[in-house]
Structure 1
Amino acid sequence: MPIIATAAWSIPKKVADRFTREGSGLTRYASVFDGVEINSTFYRRHKTSTFARWAESVPDGFRFAVKIPKEITHTRAMKDIAEPFETFLEDIAPLGEKRGPLLCQLPPRLVFDADVLETAFKTLGDADDGPIVIEVRHKSWASAEALDLLKSYAIDRVLADPAPVWPADNFETPPKYVRLHGKPKIYYSSYTDEETRLFSKLLAPDGWCVFDNTASGAAIENALTMLEMR
């Protein structure tokens, strides 16, 4: 079954009664959802004890998708990333078998450069054999060369909404990772039931659908709606 999740685990008061009342915010979130996307790793490091505590707070079948730090994707622009990536892996190691895919979100300015990216992807693959998904925002990534390179390193493309590069009809097979940011107002706008149903039908059976329209609290509500559509 697909994992329906949100970016972070904040529960709005409006739907609080849908979750267990006991435990931490994450424990309550995990009483309903099977996974979550950790976005805070993009901005800062956390102690290994923090990841250990999170892992202990959720059931065995729960999974954490983890966003790769911006030092790697934005500051270094995917160049000379071996050292910070190793540090990142060490930090999140306590997640153990509860770790899901790593999310590599690239900045809008990052143009596809085959030489740079092949080196980067090899570095990622040599250091870790877990799944990686990538969300890109520069039109140059729409090329056949970019798609071939991603396939050769078994990196799955993210179907994002709004979709600056890869719209839904660009996927020959159901996407493994869908990130719904909200539109027309990114991070705020809620999805209609019909829109939610359409994305649910697009998703791969073993995929993830992450609602990232968290700024208004819509993410949890939309994710609950999609869960009910299973």
Structure 2
Amino acid sequence: MGRIRVGTCSWTDKALVASGWYPKGRRDAEGRLRHYAEQFPVAEVDSTYYGLPSTRNSLLWADRTPDGFRFDVKAFSLLTGHPTRPEALPADLRPALVGQRGRGGVDPGLLDEVWDRYSAALEPLRASGRLGTVVFQFPARLVPGRAAVEFLRRCRDRATGWPMAVEFRHPGWWRGEQADATAALLTELDTAAVAVDMVQTLPMSVPPVVRVTTPELALVRLHGRNSAWGTGTKEERFRHAYTPAELAEWVPRVRAMAERAREVHVLFNNCCGDAAVRAAQAMRHLLGLS
């Protein structure tokens, strides 16, 4: 039986900080992370999607968490094919990105340089044993097909030697017969498939398919079940308080994943107020972890 770790997709979310979940005296950057790490053994870093991480932050994160803590880190937007503002890049790389606009793609050399800087900044987490995986969350426009498979292979080649997990935002990857082909591809690439929980009433709802595609890690990301997904503000999209019954649906699935993977990470992304930490605490209780 693999180890099950439950946590949230951010410990710095403004709504969480404002909720009062952090006690007085522990609301600065260091205090928040130390307090969070006393409650949960894993956290997702989402800031690395919006901008390149820094070695300094990685060193601080490692120093402020106990041995055995894990960080799952989101891949930078440019690496996953998302629109990226030049301001999100270091100043010396911005002209290269601006020069690529309207040319139907980003220069592979720029992507290689971005990946080199991204991975160098995360090296302290890996060296300290605190890196769980790098989460490549792909946009909904990445639809199943030859071009997408080639893109996935290039991403995996770029991340050779690094743990990698993939979350698809287009539901076609996990529908019908395609689900088997998707699982086979990720297994070949030694990449963890991210199981998703979200509202299931929308055309672009990703089904909650569970596939373990690498023996090292299985990952679940629970986004909440708000029908405003894809519209409105962040608070509107992710506002959802998981009920005990909704959480219980995942208990047998998570345990089955732990039968096949050395670690299972269950991360709550319903980051509105303290909803995510409350759901994570409830899930730990249901799984017998607390």
TM-score, with structure 1 as normaliser: 0.85
1:84 aligns with 2:84: no
The whole-number CA distance in structure 1 between the counterparts of 2:265 and 2:124 is 22
Using the TM superposition, name which of 28-37 and 4-13 deviates more.
Answer: 4-13
Residue aligning to 2:275: 218
Do 1:133 and 1:158's aligned partners in 2 also have CA atoms closer than 8 Å? Answer: yes
> Which whole-Å CA distance do the structure 2 matches of 1:139 and 1:166 have between them?
4
Matched, 1:2 2:4: yes
Structure 2 partner of 1:128: 160
Secondary structure at 2:6 match in 1:
strand
Which structure 1 residue ranges, 5 or more long, are not aligned? none
Residue 167 of structure 1: CA displacement? 2.7
Deviation per CA, 1:46-84: give whole Å up to 9, x if none.
321011101110001100000001111114889834332
Match of 2:100 in 1: none
Give me the identity figure in percent.
26
| Distance change >3 Å, CA 31–CA 178, structure 1 → 2 | same
Cα distance in 2 for residues equivalent to 1:115 and 1:21: 48
Cα offset for 1:118? 3.4
- In 1, the alpha carbon distance for the partners of 2:169 and 2:249 equals 23
Q: Work out whether residues 159 and 178 of structure 1, in 8 Å CA contact, stay in contact via their aligned partners in 2.
A: yes
Give the 5 Å matches for 1:74-223.
74-75=82-83, 80=108, 81-96=111-126, 97-118=129-150, 120-125=152-157, 127-142=159-174, 143=178, 144-162=180-198, 164=204, 167-168=207-208, 170-171=209-210, 176-185=218-227, 186-203=237-254, 204-205=257-258, 206-223=263-280
Amino acid at match of 1:179: R
- Partners of 2:141 and 2:148 lie apart in 1 by 14
Is contact 1:9–1:25 with CA below 8 Å preserved after alignment? yes
Cα distance in 1 for partners of 2:163, 2:107 equals: 20
The aligned amino acid for 2:131 is R
Contact 1:111 1:140 in 2 (8 A): yes
TM-superposed CA distance for 1:201, in Å, is: 2.6
State the distance in 2 between where 1:188 and 1:216 align. 8
Aligned to 1:40: 47
Q: 1:43 to 1:193 in 2, by over 3 A?
A: same
Deviation at 1:123, TM superposition (A): 4.6
**Distance in 1 of aligned mates of 2:182 and 2:212:** 17
After TM superposition, the runs of 4+ consecutive aligned structure 1 residues lying more than 6 A away are 76-79
Taking the aligned partners of 1:145 and 1:95, their CA distance within structure 2 comes to 33
Native 8 Å contact 1:67 1:104 kept in 2: yes
* Residues 43 and 201 of structure 1: CA distance in aligned 2, closer, same or farther (over 3 Å): same
> What is the aligned residue count?
228
Cα 1:123–1:137 shift into 2, 3 Å:
closer
- Where does 1:51-62 land on structure 2 (aligned, <5 Å)? 51-62=58-69
Larger radius of gyration: 2
Match of 1:28? 35
Mapped partners of 1:212, 1:222: distance in 2? 10
Distance 1:60 1:78 in 2: 38
C-alpha distance in structure 1 between counterparts of 2:60 and 2:125, whole Å: 9
Q: TM-score, normalised by structure 2?
A: 0.69
Offset of residue 217 of structure 1: 2.2
